[in-house]
Chains A and B, each alone.
Chain A
Amino acid sequence: MNRFFFLPLAARSLMNRRVTALLTLFAIALSVMLFLGVEKIRLGAKESFDNTISGTDLIVGARSGSVNLLLYSVFRIGDATNNITWESYRAFAEHPDTAWTVPISLGDSHRGFRVMGTTGAYFEHYQYGQRRPLEFGEGAPFEDVFDAVLGAEVASRLGYELGDAITLSHGIGETSFANHENKPFRVAGILKRTGTPVDSTVHVPLEGIEAIHLGWESGARSPLAALYTPERVRQMELQPAEITAFFMGLKSRIAALKVQREINQYKSEPLQAVIPGVALSQLWRVVSVAETALTSIAAFVVFTGLLGMLTAIMTSLNERRREMAILRSVGARPWMIFALLMSEAALLALAGALCGIAAIYTALTAARSFIEAQLGIFLGALQPGLYDLYLILAVVGAALLLGLFPALRAYRNSLADGLTVRV
Chain B
Amino acid sequence: MSRRLAHSPAGETAIAVQDLTFAWPGGAPVLDIPELHIARNEKVFVEGPSGSGKSTLLGLIGGVLTPARGKVMLLGQNLGALSAAGRDRFRAEHLGIVFQMFNLLPYLSLIDNVILPCRFSLRRREAALAATGTLTGEARRLLAHLGLKDEALLRRPVTQLSVGQQQRVAAARALIGGPEILIADEPTSALDARAQGRFLELLIEECERAQSALVFVSHDTALSRFFTRTIALPEVNRAAQAPEEEGA
Q: A residues engaging B (CB < 8 A)?
A: 1-2, 5, 12-13, 15-16, 322-323, 325-334, 418-421, 423
CB pair B121–A331 under 8 Å, yes or no, is yes
Binary per-residue interface labels of chain B (87-121) against chain A in the complex, 1 for a CB within 8 Å, 0 otherwise: 01101110001011111111110000000110111
Q: In the bound complex, how far is the Cα of B158 from the Cα of A323, in angstroms? A: 14
Q: Which residues of A contact B100 (CB under 8 A)?
A: 421
Q: Tell me which of A2, A16, A419 contacts B97 (CB under 8 A).
A: A419
Q: Report the minimum CB–CB distance from B224 to chain A (whole Å).
A: 23
A329 touches B97 (CB 8 A): yes
Select one of A1, A418, A419 contacting B122, CB under 8 A: A1
Q: Which of B59, B104, B117, B119 contacts A418 (CB 8 A)?
A: B59
Q: State the CA gap A423–B190 with chains docked (Å).
A: 15
Residues of the B chain whose Cβ atoms lie less than 8 Å from the Cβ of A333: 85, 88-89
Tell whether B58 is near chain A: CB-to-CB under 8 Å: yes
Q: Give complex CA distance A423, B100 in Å.
A: 11
A330 pairs with B106, CB closer than 8 A: no
A-side contacts of B93, CB under 8 Å: 331
User: What is the bound-complex CA distance between A1 and B64, given in angstroms?
Assistant: 21
B92 touches A330 (CB 8 A): yes
Q: Is B64 within 8 A of A328, CB to CB?
A: yes
7 cross-chain CB contacts under 8 A: A326-B104, A331-B91, A418-B62, A419-B58, A419-B62, A419-B65, A420-B55
Given A12-B107, A421-B100, A330 contacting B62 (CB threshold 8 A): no
- Distance A16 CA – B106 CA, assembled complex (angstroms): 7
Is the beta-carbon distance between B105 and A419 smaller than 8 angstroms?
no
Which residues in B have their C-beta under 8 angstroms from that of A419?
Answer: 55, 58-59, 62, 64-65, 97, 99, 185
20 further A-B contacts with Cβ under 8 Å, apart from A333-B85, A334-B88, are A1-B119, A13-B107, A15-B107, A16-B107, A322-B102, A326-B99, A326-B105, A330-B97, A330-B117, A331-B89, A331-B117, A333-B88, A418-B59, A418-B64, A418-B65, A419-B65, A419-B99, A419-B185, A421-B99, A421-B100
Residue from B58, B92, B102 within 8 A of A331 (CB atoms)? B92
Is B219's CB within 8 Å of the partner chain A? no
User: What residues of B have a CB within 8 angstroms of the CB of A334 in the complex?
Assistant: 84, 88
| Size bracket, chain B contacts | 20 to 34
CB distance from B163 to the nearest CB of A (A): 14
Q: Is the pair A329, B85 in contact by a Cβ cutoff of 8 Å?
A: no
In the bound assembly, the distance between CA atoms of A156 and B46 in angstroms comes to 89
Contacts of A326 in B (CB 8 A): 99, 102-105
Tell me, rounded to whole Å, the shortest Cβ–Cβ distance linking A322 to chain B. Answer: 5
Does B173 sit within 8 A of A, measured CB to CB?
A: yes
CB distance from A331 to the nearest CB of B (A): 2
CB distance from A317 to the nearest CB of B (A): 16
Nearest chain-A residue to B62 (Cβ)? A419
Chain B residues near A13 (CB-CB < 8 A) = 105, 107
Complex interface: chain A residues within 8 A of B108 (CB): 12
With A325-B99, A326-B103: A332-B62 Cβ-Cβ less than 8 Å: no
Given A331-B92, A418-B65, A419-B64: A5 touches B119 (CB 8 Å cut-off): yes
In the bound complex, do residue A331 and residue B120 qualify as a contact, i.e. CB atoms below 8 Å apart? yes
A420 contacts which chain B residues (CB < 8 A)?
Answer: 55, 59
Docked complex Cα distance between A333 and B90 (Å):
11
Contact of A329 among B62, B65, B122 (CB under 8 A): B62
The answer for the CA separation of A2 and B121 in the assembled complex, in Å, is 11
- Inter-chain CA distance A421–B93, complex, in Å, is 21
Residues of chain A within 8 A of B104, CB atoms compared: 326
Q: Tell which of A331, A418, A421 has the most Cβ of chain B within 10 Å.
A: A331
- Beta-carbon nearest neighbor of B185 in chain A: A419
Closest to A325 in B: B99
Bound-state CA distance A230–B99 (Å) is: 101
- Give chain A nearest CB distance to B83 CB in angstroms: 11
Interface string of B54-91 (1 = CB under 8 A from A): 01101100101100000000000000000011001101
On whether the beta carbons of B102 and A423 are closer than 8 Å, the reply is yes
| Distance between B210 CB and nearest chain A CB, rounded to angstroms | 16
Task: Name the CB-closest residue of B to A420.
Answer: B55
Q: Which residues of B contact A332 (CB under 8 A)?
A: 88, 120
Given A1-B119, A419-B185, A421-B100, verify A331-B88 contact (CB < 8 Å). Answer: yes
CB neighbours of B121 from chain A (8 A): 1, 331
- Complex: A418 Cα to B88 Cα, angstroms: 11
Q: For window 124-160 of chain B, which residues contact chain A by CB distance below 8 Å?
A: none
> How far apart sit A13 and B103, CA to CA, in the bound complex (Å)?
15
Bound together, the chains give a CA A61 to CA B85 distance in angstroms of: 79
Closest to A12 in B: B107
